[in-house]
Chains A and B, each alone.
Chain A
Amino acid sequence: MSQQEPLPDHILECIENLRNQVNEEILEQASLEVALESAVKHLPVYLKVVKSHIEQLSRVLNTEQHNHKTLETADLAQPVRQLMSIFKELSDDDLLTMEQLASLSKIQGTVVRTTQEDHVQSQTAPS
């Protein structure tokens, strides 16, 4: 696929969503750098602890003791449902790309911050 080819609509929609989510200011700073850093720190721990337990939950709920419920009928909380969707899609390559994106955006963030701080200092320094 050509790099120049326009991005399909569903990807543009995802980018739009991503922009809105980054700007929501729920995290300590509204930036992709902070969001990516948080995501790549959380995902490995979620994969280690939560993923295997979702499989166990599915098996346990489907017993007579729990009226043969399924993950879909168990009224699970939103964070769990979200993680189920993430685990369905997430590959090792995706995680690696996200880690690389987090590293590069952090480096760029540091460079920009330093430049901006230098600029602020030069503006406020007594002549």
Chain B
Amino acid sequence: MTESHKLVVYYIAQQAKTNQLIGDNNIHSIFNNRMVNIVSESQKQAVDSYLNQQEPRPEIIDTFIEVPENRRTTKWPQLERAVDAAKLSGALLVIAELGTLTNNEYFAQLLLESSVNFYCCDQPFVNHTILEALYKHAQVQRKLHGKLIREGLKMTSAKSGNPNAAEVISKVNKPKIDTAIVFAFLLQPIISDYRRKGYSQRQMVKALNEEGFTAPEGGKWVLSQLQKVLDRVKLNEIALQAGHVFSELSEKQYSYSQIAEEFRNQNIISLKRTPWDEAQVKKLEDRIKQIQEITHINQLVLSLLPIVKEFRTRNLTIQEMLDIFEEKNITIKEHVA
């Protein structure tokens, strides 16, 4: 049997409760409410139909069933395994249903970077070139969508509705944003080593995956993910290096454009390939503030932890703890000006 006659089949399943499956028949099962993975009949038929068209009939060497958290997830562990299996055996990866997954950059990039041969039963015309085009189109659409949302938020803030919409959203997302900044700090020593070795971004992705340092939310790295983290690493580095210069100039009441000019004069590396401008200085200021806040909250937790432990040993109630803080002149509540 030639290698092209070997297949690795990949299904996308949905989770359902067993009682949902038998619901209409009114049967009470001991498996009630147990979660099971359901591969749709259409996917099974699509794969069968593909197999029946092949002469000689290929051999399925492995089957993988993915149950994605949602369609926008960054984790595709079964796809990673399927790609590895196909690569290892030189088999064709048969994707039962591609659907709209070309919009998911992690899914699409995993396939594109693997260079395995694949066949999508529901969209047989999709090959590497078309997948890459669809993926890039989705990227452009996402950017446009993001721009529309930002403009919409500004309109909402300016006109009616919630005047603080943008502010509220950024507050809700703050823990995630701050975690991304800390993650970039965490990756920094590894990236420094890679840079010293002259690795390209693609080589960095490969090395991270080989060394077993997973992507922020687990799973393998893809290039676009690393590029976002590299931007954060760079911004963090410049914020630490140029932070004191920025503070000095701010104290002297320099405007953003004056600070940009000063940075250019001092040959401080800019955030982008273009020289320092107002927008870059503003971005740097935001990052300096974010790092300051992260450090501040962490320091506060470090001070609070021994106190909390001691208070618990003394069996104090939460109210008694707050009373002690108040007694020690710690401002507990914000005051109206």
Known contacts A63-B211, A108-B333; is-contact A27 B320 (Cβ 8 Å):
no
Binding site for B on A (CB under 8 A): 1-3, 5, 7-8, 10-11, 14-19, 21-24, 26-27, 29-35, 38-39, 41-46, 49-50, 53-54, 56-57, 59-61, 63, 65-67, 69, 74-80, 82-83, 85-86, 89-90, 93-94, 97-98, 100-101, 104-105, 108-109, 112-113, 116-117, 120
**Hey, which chain A residues are within 8 Å of B308, CB to CB?**
94, 97-98, 101
Query: 21 A-B residue contacts at CB 8 Å?
Result: A2-B314, A3-B314, A8-B310, A10-B306, A11-B307, A16-B328, A22-B330, A22-B331, A26-B292, A26-B296, A32-B332, A41-B175, A54-B186, A57-B187, A63-B211, A79-B294, A80-B185, A97-B318, A101-B321, A108-B322, A109-B334
Task: Determine whether the beta carbon of A18 is less than 8 Å from that of B175.
Answer: no
Task: Determine whether the beta carbon of A79 is less than 8 Å from that of B296.
Answer: no
Task: Determine whether the beta carbon of A97 is less than 8 Å from that of B325.
Answer: no
Among A11, A46, A59, the most chain B Cβ lie within 10 Å of the Cβ of A46
Binding site for A on B (CB under 8 A): 174-176, 178-179, 181-183, 185-190, 193, 207, 211-214, 216-217, 236, 240, 291-316, 318-322, 324-325, 328-336
Rounded to whole angstroms, the CA-CA distance of A100 and B306 in the bound complex is 16
**Hey, which chain B residues are within 8 Å of A43, CB to CB?**
301
**Hey, which chain B residues are within 8 Å of A44, CB to CB?**
175
Task: Determine whether the beta carbon of A74 is less than 8 Å from that of B310.
Answer: no
Task: Determine whether the beta carbon of A112 is less than 8 Å from that of B333.
Answer: yes
Rounded to whole angstroms, the CA-CA distance of A32 and B188 in the bound complex is 32
Secondary structure class of chain A's binding surface, majority of residues: helix
- What are the 9 closest A-B residue pairs judged by CB atoms, nearest first? A82-B298, A109-B333, A77-B185, A29-B334, A17-B303, A116-B336, A26-B296, A18-B303, A74-B189
Task: Determine whether the beta carbon of A78 is less than 8 Å from that of B189.
Answer: no
Across chains A and B, the number of contacting residue pairs, with CB separation under 8 Å, is 203
**Hey, which chain B residues are within 8 Å of A90, CB to CB?**
301, 305
Among A30, A69, A97, A109, the most chain B Cβ lie within 10 Å of the Cβ of A97
Known contacts A1-B313, A35-B300, A79-B298; is-contact A46 B185 (Cβ 8 Å):
no
Task: Determine whether the beta carbon of A50 is less than 8 Å from that of B335.
Answer: no
Task: Determine whether the beta carbon of B330 is less than 8 Å from that of A66.
Answer: no
Task: Determine whether the beta carbon of A1 is less than 8 Å from that of B336.
Answer: no
Cβ-neighbour of A3 out of B293, B315, B318, B334 (below 8 A) = B315
Task: Determine whether the beta carbon of A23 is less than 8 Å from that of B331.
Answer: yes
Distance in angstroms from A64 CB to nearest chain B CB is 11
Cβ-neighbour of B179 out of A30, A32, A49, A78 (below 8 A) = A49
Cβ-neighbour of A15 out of B216, B325, B336 (below 8 A) = B325
Rounded to whole angstroms, the CA-CA distance of A79 and B186 in the bound complex is 9
Please give me the residue from chain A that is nearest to B296 by CB atom. A26
**Hey, which chain A residues are within 8 Å of B324, CB to CB?**
7, 15
Task: Determine whether the beta carbon of A79 is less than 8 Å from that of B291.
Answer: yes
Task: Determine whether the beta carbon of A109 is less than 8 Å from that of B332.
Answer: yes
**Hey, which chain B residues are within 8 Å of A104, CB to CB?**
318-319, 322
**Hey, which chain A residues are within 8 Å of B240, CB to CB?**
77
Cβ-neighbour of B293 out of A27, A29, A61, A65 (below 8 A) = A27
Rounded to whole angstroms, the CA-CA distance of A57 and B303 in the bound complex is 26
Please give me the residue from chain B that is nearest to A69 by CB atom. B189
Among A16, A27, A53, A77, the most chain B Cβ lie within 10 Å of the Cβ of A77
Task: Determine whether the beta carbon of A53 is less than 8 Å from that of B297.
Answer: no
